[in-house]
Amino acid sequence: MPAIPSPPAAEQIAAPKKDVPAFSPKDVGVIFVLGGPGAGKGTQCANLVREYGFKHLSAGDLLRAEQERPGSQFGNMIKEYIREGKIVPMEVTVQLLENAMGEAIRTEGKKRFLIDGFPRKMDQALKFEETVCPSQFTLFFDCPESVMQERLLNRGKTSGRADDNAESITKRFRTFIETSMPVVDFFEKQGKVVKIPAIKTPEEVFQDVETAMKTRGFQPQK
Ligand code: UDP
Ligand code: MG
């Protein structure tokens, strides 16, 4: 990924750069998908991709790919943050998302994005909407911790994820409550949150997702 831009030198500040997002919401649609760890974001995103043709970008998957990328200067840092259930400094995640969006627009002609598991901290939310693209709304999957914990421990048997173990899960829940819920509350105050109960089976939850999408003007393809 490109280097994180450093602040401009003093002499360059004279002609201020107009701060517009990289992608205009007139051309590009962004839906954030939030919910606690194990709430079912990835599963429901896959359903939405199949029925509606979105491009799905998972912030966690992008971070894990960057962590594995040979030569990445961020690999060790990302690994540490993920195991501790902490939020990787936003510059890294926002840049990974912007790169992936640009790539999908250029190579696949995609214009509608599901951004999964992001933003989960206020600074990311503000930075992304200011520099990448304002969101249309947020799909929020609401699920009790006991249910999420059971799902994650089950997933941990096969996922190979370094954070699907009891200790990391506890830390992820804490981060979710303390750091990520304020983001949901922030968008809620703007009337931009669609809350979906996520306890039932994936099929039943998806029925509620489809109803919610309809109320927001989205129809399945074909
Ligand atoms: N993560 C992060 N910033 C983000 C999204 C994810 O730092 O914007 C890190 C964080 O450590 C998180 C981990 O990646 O706990 C896994 O995220 P993912 O969305 O894959 O997991 P989920 O919570 O959906 O199970
Ligand atoms: Mg996920």
Per-domain residue ranges of the chain? 29-215
Output the residue whose Cα is nearest ligand 1's atom 11.
Answer: 82
Q: What is the pLDDT of residue 3?
A: 55
In the numeric block, which tokens belong to residue 104?
């999908």
Give the number of whichever ligand sits closest to the CA of residue 155: 1
Q: Is the CB of 125 under 6 A from ligand 1?
A: no
Output the residue whose Cα is nearest ligand 1's atom 17.
Answer: 60
Output the residue whose Cα is nearest ligand 1's atom 6.
Answer: 60
Q: What is the pLDDT of residue 69?
A: 97
Q: Give 67-95 as a DSSP string.
A: HHSTT-TTHHHHHHHHHTTPPPPHHHHHH
Strand order in the sheet with 29-35: 55-58, 112-116, 29-35, 137-142, 193-197
Q: Is the CB of 59 under 6 A from ligand 1?
A: yes
Q: pTM (2 decimals)?
A: 0.91
Give the number of whichever ligand sits closest to the CA of residue 97: 1
Output the residue whose Cα is nearest ligand 1's atom 15.
Answer: 85
State which fold the 29-215 domain adopts: Rossmann fold (3.40.50)
Q: Is the CB of 35 under 6 A from ligand 1?
A: no
Mutating to test ligand 1, I would choose from 44, 88, 122 the residue with most ligand atoms within 8 A of its C-beta, which is: 88
Q: Write out the chain's pLDDT in tens, 222 residues.
A: 555 555 545 455 555 555 799 999 999 999 999 999 999 999 999 999 999 999 999 999 999 999 999 999 999 999 999 999 999 999 999 999 999 999 999 999 999 999 999 999 999 999 999 999 999 999 999 999 999 999 999 999 999 999 999 999 999 999 999 999 999 999 999 999 999 999 999 999 999 999 999 999 999 996
The residue among 40, 34, 31 whose CA lies nearest residue 177 is 34
